[in-house]
Each structure stands twice: as C-alpha cells, then as structure tokens.
Structure 1
C-alpha cells in the first residue's frame, strides 16, 4: 500500500461529480461572519488556503438558514441572495486547483445560547441537563407551520448556495442540532406526524432532503452529516442511524459523513489524546470506522469518516479497507493546512494536534476550550497568518473567553 498514491486517487460520486482526492475538510464553525451574520472576505482567504493545501473537498462551517436562530456569535446566516457576490468569491476560493467546496446548512434548534436567543425552538420542550441550563434556555416546541417553514428555508438556502457556485450542500444532521433533535427520542417526544416512532422522527430529515433536491436538481451534490449515535441515555441509537442512512440512500443522497455526540456528550470533540478512546479505535485512528463498516454492509453509498485520523498510514488503511471513501479531517487541517499536499508528496506525517485542557471540568467536558482555541487558529489563517500549533494554557482560555464575551455583548446590543 502506497499512502500517497491511494490518498491521491479521485472519488467519483454517483451523479458523476468528481472529488480530486480522498482528503475532506469536515465542517468547523469559523465564526467569521459579521455581527449581523453576513459573510466576509476572510472566508475566501481561509478556504483558498485549504484548497491550495491539497484538500479535495472542503465542507464549510455551519451556515444558518434562519438569522433569528444562530448557534454562535458571527455565524453566517443565508436567507436570500443579498450576499451573492461574497458567497461567489467564497465558493471560487474553495475550488482552487480543481477542488470542491460544499456548504453545510444548519438550524441549531435548542442549541442556541441564551445570550443570542431568548426563544429557542425544538421538536419538544425538553430542557438541557442541569449543568447546561445556565447557558441554554428550555426550548418551546415547534408548531406544524414552523416546521414546514424551516424545511423550505433549508431548500431556499441551498438554492442560493448553488447559484453562488458551491458544488453541493451538506445537511447538518449531527451533534445535537435541530435535525439531530428530530431524530432523537430524547429530544423529540412529539405524538403528531413528526414524532412518536423512529419512522416518524426521520420524516423531518427526509422532508429537508427532498425539498433541497427539488430546488437544486439531481446533478447538485447533497450530503448529510449524521451521528452514529448520541451516546446519551434515551437518545439516537446506531440501529436508528442505520435506518436513517438506508432511507436517505433510497432517496439518492450523494455522501454520508459519520460523526457522533452532542453538546451534552461531545464525542465529536474528544481525541485519541484525551485517553477516552478504546484500544481498537486507537489502533485504527478513526473513531467511527466500526460503525462505517456496518453501513458498508447495507449500502455502497460514498462515506466520509471524521475524527481521529493522525497519520498517513492510518488514513490510507481506512480507505484501503473499504470502510470509508473520504478521510474527514478537522483539527489537523487547522494547525497544518498543507497536510494533504505533504502526504500526497510522499512525506511521512504525524499530525501536530495535541490535547487542550484547562483543568476546569465543566469547560473540558464540554470541549469549550478545545473548540474555541481551534476557532481562533482558523481566524489566523483567514487573516493570512500561520496558525499556532500549541495552546498557551490558561492564557489561551482567557483570550477565548474574552472574545466570546465581547462578541456576545455586541450581538445582543445589535439585536436589542
């Protein structure tokens, strides 16, 4: 097995679209929008760096479909064509050298902090666990007409992304956001047509997919990021995830990215370095390969597995095994944007990613520092600077908290 050759192999999707190699940047929230949630020129600079660094497919951070419901300060929200020029520049930057860029579309549902949203919504009015209630309000249950409106908002945002030149969109159906909330029996306790059974709970994601496909046509790439499980008592299970994938494949989905967890149990942010990964996973590097193999037994839909990859050998072995078609990378591409080019040039690589701990249990358990520190490095790349590869402990925590507080205050002042 030659890792450089194998990972350089193009991937042809079922609709004929070609991703030039097997490296994919998984979505990370950039928070590079304006205070009122419009895109900025920095996004083009950022995605040009990843495209020029060799990443075959870049999936953007979560672009919100409703400006009233955002997950973080300075998320980009896409409701109409008013930002088409900036969106087009963003798309072109991510396509440098023949690469692809897909826009991830999202609605946070209940995972919208109090400082940003006093009226969060969800399938059901289920509060967060006790430790998080100071940051997140108990949501109200969505009405039927509101659900239909959200479905059409996904489609409208996808159509604008297509017009701007993006190669596809990814529905964010993981990590506890709204689509994931509909799928989970813990968060979705409805008894109408949108809940009450596993089949009814997946009606929402299928309706979102169908609306996007109708708006954008058969040739446009549509993918989904889906939890293998919530890792939460009473939550979304592996069997339910397999059933959702099977249903989406029957509808014609182009790519499935596998992840896991949510804000209350953030498996997606835990690394092998955290000491919470079992030995078999550590040996193969990727967290969700075993689940991917279960998916592969059901279907040949193109798969992307994200989380845990650190060496060119581990990445190549995952592709060679047939468990995944794309190697999903997040944190490794933040500290080393040119990592794919170095691997495809034949260089042995071990990612520079290191664990980030504050010693404050609540922050560490929620991976707040982990996520926020990498977001800061994304900002450096977007300003044309080299990212830092190691944090500065408590100084980094203070910097991150200062920025988050300032952004939250500015956002509230504007909204008020």
Structure 2
C-alpha cells in the first residue's frame, strides 16, 4: 500500500464508532475561552478549519472540570449547562466533514501558575523543584471528600459534552496534571485508599473512567492520554503505565494516546529528550518503542503523538502494528489542512522545530513551546494565517510583558479597593 492509502484506512472503535482515517489531532492548549470560561467564536473558527482540513479524530485542548482550578488563562470550563449554546456551536463546527471531535477533560492539580487560582491542590503536598517554585506554588493535599467530588465533576462534564454534540471525551492522564499526579509515586505519597501502592494510585483514574462511562453510556467513546513515563526520578514508570493500560482495557476504554513527561521534564515537546540511536530517530515518533511494548500487552487502539515528520514515517508506524493512528499536534498549528495534503500523498509544508530564545534556563522549560503554539492557534482563530518563523524570543518578551501588565492591573485594583 502507498503511505496515503495506509493513512486513509478507516478505524472502528470497540464501541462501534467509526473514524474516517488514521490521522489524529492531539490536544493543544488554545487559551480561547472568554472571561466566563465559555467557548468563543475563535474556537469555533479554529476547529472548523481543522475539520475542513481532513483530520479523522480531533481532540480539543484541555477543558477544565472546575472553574476554581484553571491550568492557564483562557481555559474553557464545563461544570453545568450555562454555556450549552456556545458548546453546541463549537461541536457543530468541529464535527463537520464527518470528523470525530472529542473533548479533553482535565484538572491541573498542582500544575497551575501562581496567581491563577486561589490555591492549587494535588494528591500530596509535594513542591516543584527549586528553580520552578517561583512560578508554581506548593499544593495543598486533597481530602477524601474532595477526591470524590472531582470524580463526580469528570462524570458531569462528560455528560454535558455528549449533550453538546461532541462525539467523545478524552481523560487527560498525562503531562503532570491531576490524573498523572495520582499515578506518580513522586507526586502521590498518600497512604490511604488513593495511594501507597500502584494499585491504589491508579484507583483515581479507574473511578473517573467508571463514573464517566455511567454518565455517557456504552456507545459513546472515552479515551485517555497517558504518560509512558514521567521521566522524573521516582516518578511514574513504564511498567506502571503498562499496568494502567491493561486495567483500563479491562474496563472498556476505547483508545489510548501515549505521551510522556511533565512541566518539570517536558519530554512531550522534544525538550530534554535523551540521546537516541539513528535507527530510532529514523522512525520519527518519540514514544513508538513504548507503544510496541503496549501492543504486546493489549489490543485496545493505540496512538502515539510527537516527532512525526514525513508521510512515510507515519505510515510505517501504522504498518508496524504498534499504533492504530498517528498523532499530530504542533504541525497542525502551522498548517490546518495538513491531513488533506497527507491523504493526497504530499509531504508537510513545514517541519516542527524547537522554539528557542537563546536563553538556556528558558529554553529548557516547556512553557515557551506552549505559549508559542498557543499564539499560532489564536491567529487561526482570528482568521489569520500562522507565522511558522515567529521569533521565540519575541514571544517570550510578549509573554513577560503580558504577565507584568496583569500584575499592574491587580495592584491598581487592590489600591482602589482600599
């Protein structure tokens, strides 16, 4: 088969839902929610562009389940039906052209910048490493009652997603957010029923899945984005990740997207990746070796996101049997019609490159990558073309300036209030 023929094959999930091709848009933070935490016309325009661009399965950027716990400014929050009209408009645009669009549901846990929320919470009160404590506060440990409330919030949000017209949901269980924190022995040092052993650490994600499944029924897809590992000393390991995938498959999960890393060790962006052999580099994907191990353990559809550069590399990953779909993210911030090009046998116009300022302390953190690509998504949402050559240093300067402006506004408000 030609590479484009491989990528054009449909895939039917275990719940019976068909995906029209093997191209999967992984979640990227858009930061396009309004002050009420509702979807905006810019989100509608952005997701309509991706739907028209030919993607088979599109995952939204992280949507929060609790407005008291934002991951970044501009998050959409789904707690109740107050913004159902806006959610339906977003879903209608995102699912046109027979596109599957799933909402990624998330809670940041401790991984939220200082000043964004009143407080941050986590399974345990474990601080960030010293050089990141200027940006991230030490969290408060969650109570048992709060944990159970969070599980209910995931389920309620999933039901609202289905009501809005989206075609599935994805649990964000990777990249150091709350579900990932529960799974990690570094972040989760509890000794109650929610921690203390691998079985207890994965209880939270299993309870979240069960509650969501009860809310949406058996024929509505639920997937998960899961770390292959945290890449932190004492963190979530590949062995534990495989056990979590086995447990989720037994529960009925429809698809597993494999990634890795946290804000402290951002392997998902390619930053601080360990040296690899030429043979591994030629296969392109960051986490394909782990996917091969997972494929030996489970039959649930698998996706790997990160590192794909060519149509041949994408097709080879699928033909190997290790994955069922190939995940694309940053490339789709540079060209929204990339899937149509790939399915026509054409190569990407642009190659994803590391975003650098030339300042090592900044370049080693994942936050610059997130900010740069979020800027591209905002351009598309405004109806403008992306800027693939935009300076990383300039984006960093604008980010700092914006934060300083917010700080000045807050200070003025406090002065006036007194």
TM-score, structure 1 as length reference: 0.96
1:9-408 alignment, distance < 5 Å: 9-270=9-270, 276-349=275-348, 351-406=350-405
Secondary structure at the aligned position of 2:309 is classed as coil
Determine helix, strand or coil for the equivalent of 2:364. Answer: helix
Residues 4 and 271 from structure 1, CA distance in 2 versus in 1: closer, same or farther, beyond 3 angstroms?
Answer: farther
8 Å CA contact 1:51, 1:96 repeated in 2: yes
Give TM-score scaled by structure 2 length: 0.95
Deviation at 1:23, TM superposition (A): 0.7
| Cα distance change, pair 411–259 in 1 and its aligned pair in 2 (3 A) | farther
Structure 1: gaps (5+ residues): none
Q: Per the alignment, do residues 275 and 224 of structure 1 end up closer, same or farther by CA in structure 2, a change over 3 Å counting?
A: closer
Please report how far the alpha carbon of residue 119 of structure 1 lies from its aligned counterpart in structure 2 after TM superposition: 1.5
State the alpha-carbon separation in 1 of the partners of residues 411 and 301 from structure 2.
Answer: 42
* CA distance in 1 between partners of 2:15 and 2:412 (Å): 46
Q: Please list the CA deviations of residues 77-136 of structure 1 after superposition, one character each: whole Å capped at 9, or x if unmatched.
A: 110001111101111111111011000000000011111124210001111100111111
Out of 11-20 and 31-40, give the one that drifted further.
Answer: 31-40
Tell me which moved more, 200-209 or 90-99. 90-99
Supply the RMSD in Å over aligned alpha carbons.
Answer: 1.9
Equivalent residues of 1:67, 1:77 under 8 A apart: yes
Distance 2:217 2:383 in 1: 36
CA–CA distance in 2 between the matches of 1:15 and 1:352?
A: 35
For 2:40 and 2:413, locate their aligned partners in 1 and report how far apart those are by CA, in whole Å. Answer: 18
Taking the aligned partners of 1:170 and 1:44, their CA distance within structure 2 comes to 19
Q: Distance in 1 between matches of 2:392 and 2:108?
A: 30
| 1:171 counterpart SS class | strand
Structure 2 CA distance for partners of 1:404 and 1:252, relative to 1, 3 Å: farther
User: Does the CA-based 8 Å contact 1:123-1:189 persist in structure 2?
Assistant: yes
Contact 1:26 1:329 in 2 (8 A): yes
CA contact (8 A) 1:312 1:348 kept: yes
Conserved 8 A contact 2:271-2:366: no
Aligned to 1:294, the other structure's residue is in SS state: helix
